[in-house]
Amino acid sequence: MTEKFDAIIVGLGSAGGILAEQLTKAGARVLGLDKGADYSEDDFAVKQDELRYYQRGAIVSGVSVDPVTWRPDENTTARILPWSAGALGSDEPLYGMPSIGIGGGTLHWGCAAYRFREADFRMRSAIADRFGEAALPEGSTVADWPISYADLEPYYEKVEWEQGYSGRAGNIKGEFAPGTNPFEPPRNRDYPMPPVPQGPGDIPWVAATERLGMHPFRQPLALNSTEYRGRSACLNCGFCHGYPCHVGAKSTTHVTSVPAAKLTGNLDLRTHSRVLRVNRTADGKRVIGVTYVDNADVVHEVEAPIVILTAYALENVRLMLVSGIDGNGQVGANFMTHNFGWFASILPEPTNPFLGTFNASSAVDDFTSELVPDNDLGVLWGSPVISVTGDLQPIEAYHLMNPGVRKFGLEFKHWMRDNYTHMHRMYSQTTNFPYRKHYVDLDPVIKDRWGVPAIRITHEWDDHDAHSVELFGGIKRRIAAEMGAKETWMDSPRPPYHLSTHDVGVHRMGYDPQTSVTDPFGAVHGIDGLYAVGGGSFVSYGGYNPNQTIQALAYLSADRLIERFGGTAA
């Protein structure tokens, strides 16, 4: 007999964990399917292992299991993702697919937690207002979102308090506190926890940006600075970005939403279960369930009137495409990612970058979004400039060291001895406009071991991308010079990676099925009961990390689904 549920959730990560919690608390019987493990505390008890997690990607699904191919354009044959063993010579998940298992990308993330600005939801209009219609990138599909910051504000707040965020708000109902972000959009209340302890390398950075007339503020983080809801405060172990948390201080749905869903008794969680396709009625207009394979390679069919795809954005696309769902050609279109423009320097004073979390630091929003400075490079949208002070282990430092220095022999040894403890990093996250020429589809040749076609990415950095990195590189050089940096170097404006775990846009939201895949609540156009929720819903992309917006959208979708079940939101 075929098993039946009220809803099936595919992928119990950042968004899926939240939806599982909200639906089960409302009384729905939910089947949660995830291709990874449900890790225990013992699994991460000793996680300070750079070889295991950074170099060998212990919680990352590599290309041997989940192949991903890439090509710069349609005239080039795609090849297996060349940076999986990395641009940095590693399986560190920043330049590939995110971690697998319950919690997904929130297992390894660096916890930078930003709300999008009001203008980020109306990027096309804001660019036209500032620079004129003619300035809009030729051929770009950049558009305004069908929802606004005001629509998401209560859900942003819910993320911060339910998932556990730390920081100091700048704009509480129009009131600004000294030392906070004067460019922050309005909010109703502060974070539930104060900022985490500041890294030593951030102190000269803050002083330098203030002397330059900028407005530094402590970064908001999805990380406990104090004990919160039974979870420990961060211990500043120095193994954070790319690593699981051994004390549960990192806000991951693995320790927040999924345990709460389990406690309801309404969640049937099946790990090491890989969904092969979404099943629909004969006319294709209604979802009826999914087919999945378990860790013994036994194939199962399960039924539910609601199927919610909350895997990584690119995996959502693959599942839809292998299931014959192309959304009028919109599924997989409008691929966007982030270009980080990594900038490193050697400071006169020790920074001890092996201490503390990745983002125990500050940022400036003076040049973010529509605040991009006037420039001769044609750059239309801005980014925060972010200080990075901790979470730099020796092997990663080796990969990030000055490219003008030999990586062997006495020169290497002396450089590391003299400079490792003085390293400081900065980055930005510059806009990658959506185009029809940048998309995700199925590779016609490469398949995984279950015979499912690999994800194929078609993407190349455009002039605007490179010019944005150059523009913000100039700002970073000014800051480094003000800090008295002894050496500086920066990544190429056209880096070798084309994934960043910040990949979005590929199942865009909107009301018109000709230009979008879902409505603002994640419901897929034309297929009753099918939802796709996550970063794939983004319409445009500014300079902020995507995860808080992904989680806000998950809470928004949960409210709509609970209404459908006739329940009440938790």
pLDDT at position 565, please? Answer: 80
Banded model confidence at residue 431, pLDDT cuts 50, 70, 90? confident
pLDDT, one tens digit per residue, over 530-546 is 999 999 999 999 999 99
Average pLDDT value for residue range 418-440: 95
Exposure b/e, 158-185, CB count within 10 A at least 16 = b: bbbebbbbbbbbbbeeeeeeeebbebbb
Record the tokens describing residue 507, joined without a space.
Answer: 């199942």
Average pLDDT value for residue range 402-410: 94
* Domain boundaries, given as residue ranges, for the chain: 3-565
Average pLDDT value for residue range 97-113: 91
pLDDT at position 332, please? Answer: 98
Q: Does pLDDT of 86 surpass 80?
A: no
pLDDT, one tens digit per residue, over 435-485 is 999 999 999 999 999 999 999 999 999 999 999 999 999 999 999 999 999
Min mean pLDDT across 13-17, 134-138, 320-324 is at 134-138
pLDDT, one tens digit per residue, over 14-66 is 999 999 999 999 999 999 999 999 999 899 998 899 888 887 788 887 777 88
Record the tokens describing residue 99, joined without a space.
Answer: 């971690």
- Identity at 374, one-letter amino acid code: D
- Identity at 89, one-letter amino acid code: G
DSSP letter for 164, please: I
pLDDT at position 291, please? Answer: 98
Higher pLDDT, 104 or 501: 104
Q: Does pLDDT of 2 surpass 60?
A: yes
Burial class (CB in 10 A: 0-12, 13-18, 19+), 68: buried
Q: Residue 424 — left, alpha, or beta (φ > 0 → left; ψ -120 to 50 → alpha)?
A: beta
Nearest to 435 by CA among 172, 101, 109, 72: 72
Question: Which CATH topology does 3-565 take?
Answer: FAD/NAD(P)-binding domain (3.50.50)
Residue 307: count other Cβ atoms within 10 Å of its Cβ: 30
pLDDT at position 83, please? Answer: 53
Q: Does pLDDT of 564 surpass 90?
A: no
What mean pLDDT value characterizes the chain? 94
pTM (predicted TM-score): 0.96
pLDDT at position 94, please? Answer: 65
